[in-house]
Structure 1
Amino acid sequence: MTRVLAVRLDNDGDVLLAGPAVRALAPSADSLDMLVSPAGQAAARLLPGVSDVLVADVPWSGYAPAPADASRLQALVALLAERHYDRCTVFTSFHQSPLPMALIARMAGIGYVAATSVDYPGSLLDVRHQRPEGLHEVEAALDLVRATGVTPPADDDGRLALRRPLPPVPALVPAGPYVVVHPGASVPARAMTPDHARAIVAALRAAGWPVVVTGGPSERELAAVVAGPTEAASRPAAGPAAPARVIDLAGRTDLAELAAVLDGAACVVVGNTGPAHLAAAVGTPVVSLFSPVVPAGRWAPYGVPSVVLGDQQAPCRGSRARECPVPGHPCLTGVPPEDVVAAVDSLAGSPSSPVPPGGGKSRRAFVPSPAPAPTDPVHSTAEVPA
């Protein structure tokens, strides 16, 4: 029995971008597990081809990394050792080092480790992949898989995908075509400002689009500002009510439920953050308000119709800044709300005549070969003890 470990220690969006590479690895193994951070575990459970999800909070990755703790790292080594993996492939972004994880894998007795590495790896890597210039993060991960000698299945188009079926959308979501606006981001420099996002929502509403504002539990205050007064906020708990023109769903969905909301949307307006990639994974067109702190060519929505807006030559270009270094966040606030509406209309049609399913968007229920991926979410999760 061949057991393979795929590693992507970052946020949900990064895990989703590794999805096509994980699917490519899955047919070469009897069992493929994925090691992720706490911030990426919800996305890992949605990926086709993943048998089990392991969770570890490591000190070399994440927006606010955990402190280096010898006992926790030893627990991670023990967890991997008891599972007897034959191979490990470490996926990282272009600016990250895979070598700390490669060392953990070696200490756990994994005999074959592959990763993309600029730094000299010593004996830590069996495959030291060199990333070609100009590749999107999805393509770079697939290129690493090919470097290990694994050929992606011929029937896999390499786009993002999720396990199906998704859960039902919340009852508050409009039955007809709607646009989702997701104003927040895990990295502040990549998010819209509240006032700008509110103006975008107002412009979409004036153009006739019902709008659903989404966000995580920590973004409820932001979403309330962006959505403004909504019928949903004052709607009675029971009984019929007219659909609200703006629905605030922030904090009311988990990741799978958010995917269902995005799946039903005509278009999604979002910054460079996880829900942009979640929208791509369900085949929904994306208007990306993209801050150039990282290159759009590497991180833009992949494999779906999209429009990238924002000044890609702004002074923050390529800085990887977490907080906007330019007063006023002009790379994004300089985008007129009317331009966002025009981009939505170009991808989704008009509110009265939206592009039908299969026209502007393609809902995907990918099943990798040779065996069908389970449609039930991955429930079994091993976690490194605190």
Structure 2
Amino acid sequence: MTGRVLVARMDSAGDVLLAGPCIRAVAACADSVTLLAGPRGAAAGELLPGVAEVLTWCAPWIDPEPPALVSAEVLALVEQIREHGVDRALVLTSFHQSPLPLALLLRMAGVPWIGAISDDYPGSLLDLRHRVDGDPPESERALSLAESAGFRLPPGDDGTLAVRGPLPDLRTATGPPGYVVVHPGASTPARQMSASRSAAVVAALAAAGRRVVVTGAPVDRALTATVARGGGPDLGGLDLGGRTTLPELAAVLAHASVVVAPNTGPAHLAAAVGTPVVSLFAPVVPAARWAPYGVPTAVLGDQDAPCRGSRARKCPVDGHPCLESIDPDEVVAATERLAAVTADRPQRRLTTGGVS
């Protein structure tokens, strides 16, 4: 065993879920794993197998709505990490983020060994400067860092996403398993359909005989209410927007036959519980890297649209054609294809290991 290891992933819930295989590889070889997460991803960290503790801190160089950099808060984080007696640390970042600011703070905290993926010259901040060629799925990219640091997944671990169980029982709210979940919201407007287009998807699914459950965060209540109405009382869905915790949402997704969602954390949560995903994917980031990982997936949306690779938060093209051009009947057809494989999909492993 290699002592106490800290793994950092400082952005959103989806990013933290994609770090799961990397964390499990570290946990298989470490005495304990502490996850350092941002406030947007900490709840997802609580669900990850292998995590013994979650520390939360908002990194001003990572968060999309960054707070001011306050020296007292930085020093408090440094002292908190120092008190944990961390032996090694892995800093996980997206390709456009730098691990070096956090590596500097970890050095200040006395962490003796630090590894990260970095194209920038790290000086003495990193002991392992890992490089990744090409554009692999984000989960594989993170796992490659763990492997380069000498951590390997245990025998029998297939490297897909996973969450800890048991999950809450939400069947009194959702009804029996086999429904289709439509999750219309995303962290940025560029990544989601309009409310009217999402409502048309719900109506089309209901018209095709599918029972629909609409999910969303508390800030999405108005959106989910509109979307759940679909085509009216006979062609709508059950609105659970803002009514579930993250573990409860995982349970709702786990009992769905298919999840329909944009590029958003719940799409990765669906993959973590083994549910196929119809991914309404805006190409502002590459689908090869960020599409749902390890489950049957249908990626819809124009992946060659003018916004491709722009990382835009608001669509730069009038009419948002990459997503608004998706025909609801196309979503229905993709849902039916994926639902056909649902009965044969392996049950996603749930483990009781992790934070208490």
TM over 0.5: yes
Q: 1:363 and 2:347 equivalent?
A: yes
Residue aligned with 1:172, SS: helix
1:378 alignment partner in structure 2: 355
Of 284, 288, 294, which residue of structure 2 is paired with 1:293? 284
Q: Cα deviations across residues 126-152 of structure 1 (Å, max 9, x unaligned)? A: 000001212110110011111112222
Q: Following the alignment from structure 1 to structure 2, what is the Cα–Cα distance between the partners of residues 268 and 63?
A: 26
2:59 alignment partner in structure 1: 58
1:205 alignment partner in structure 2: 206
Matches for 1:1-386 after TM superposition, within 5 Å: 2-169=3-170, 171-228=172-229, 246-349=237-340, 357=343, 359=344, 361-367=345-351, 374=353, 378-379=355-356
Q: Following the alignment from structure 1 to structure 2, what is the Cα–Cα distance between the partners of residues 320 and 347?
A: 29
Which amino acid in 2 is paired with 1:167?
A: P
Q: Cα deviations across residues 78-101 of structure 1 (Å, max 9, x unaligned)? A: 000011100000011111100011
Deviation at 1:366, TM superposition (A): 4.7
Deviation at 1:191, TM superposition (A): 1.1
CA shift in 2, pair 1:257/1:315, >3 Å: same
Question: How many residues are treated as equivalent by the alignment?
Answer: 355
Q: Following the alignment from structure 2 to structure 1, what is the Cα–Cα distance between the partners of residues 104 and 198?
A: 44
Q: Following the alignment from structure 2 to structure 1, what is the Cα–Cα distance between the partners of residues 64 and 347?
A: 31
Q: Following the alignment from structure 1 to structure 2, what is the Cα–Cα distance between the partners of residues 24 and 245?
A: 43
Q: Following the alignment from structure 2 to structure 1, what is the Cα–Cα distance between the partners of residues 28 and 17?
A: 18
Contact 1:231 1:246 in 2 (8 A): no
Deviation at 1:176, TM superposition (A): 4.4
CA shift in 2, pair 1:252/1:244, >3 Å: farther
CA RMSD of aligned residues (A): 1.8
Is 246-255 or 55-64 further displaced after alignment?
55-64
Instruction: List runs of 5+ in structure 1 lacking aligned partners.
Output: 233-242, 350-354, 368-372, 380-386
CA shift in 2, pair 1:150/1:51, >3 Å: same
Which amino acid in 1 is paired with 2:348?
A: R
Q: Following the alignment from structure 2 to structure 1, what is the Cα–Cα distance between the partners of residues 243 and 170?
A: 11
Identity of aligned residues (%): 55
Is 46-55 or 147-156 further displaced after alignment?
147-156
Q: Following the alignment from structure 1 to structure 2, what is the Cα–Cα distance between the partners of residues 152 and 171?
A: 37
Contact 1:312 1:331 in 2 (8 A): yes
Q: Following the alignment from structure 2 to structure 1, what is the Cα–Cα distance between the partners of residues 209 and 88?
A: 53
Q: Following the alignment from structure 2 to structure 1, what is the Cα–Cα distance between the partners of residues 256 and 105?
A: 42
Residue aligned with 1:39, SS: coil
Residue aligned with 1:134, SS: coil
Runs of 4 or more, structure 1, over 4 Å off, are 229-232
Q: Cα deviations across residues 150-170 of structure 1 (Å, max 9, x unaligned)? A: 222232100000001101115
Q: Following the alignment from structure 2 to structure 1, what is the Cα–Cα distance between the partners of residues 307 and 236?
A: 36
Residue aligned with 1:74, SS: helix
Contact 2:268 2:293 in 1 (8 A): yes
Contact 2:275 2:342 in 1 (8 A): no
Q: Cα deviations across residues 36-95 of structure 1 (Å, max 9, x unaligned)? A: 011111100000000011000121112211211111111000000011100000011111
Contact 1:32 1:52 in 2 (8 A): yes
Which amino acid in 2 is paired with 1:57?
A: C
Which amino acid in 1 is paired with 2:313?
A: R
Which amino acid in 2 is paired with 1:251?
A: G
Contact 1:284 1:362 in 2 (8 A): no
TM, length-normalised to structure 1: 0.89
Deviation at 1:118, TM superposition (A): 1.1
Contact 2:229 2:235 in 1 (8 A): no
Q: Following the alignment from structure 1 to structure 2, what is the Cα–Cα distance between the partners of residues 181 and 281?
A: 17
Contact 2:6 2:33 in 1 (8 A): yes
Contact 1:230 1:248 in 2 (8 A): no
Contact 2:307 2:315 in 1 (8 A): yes
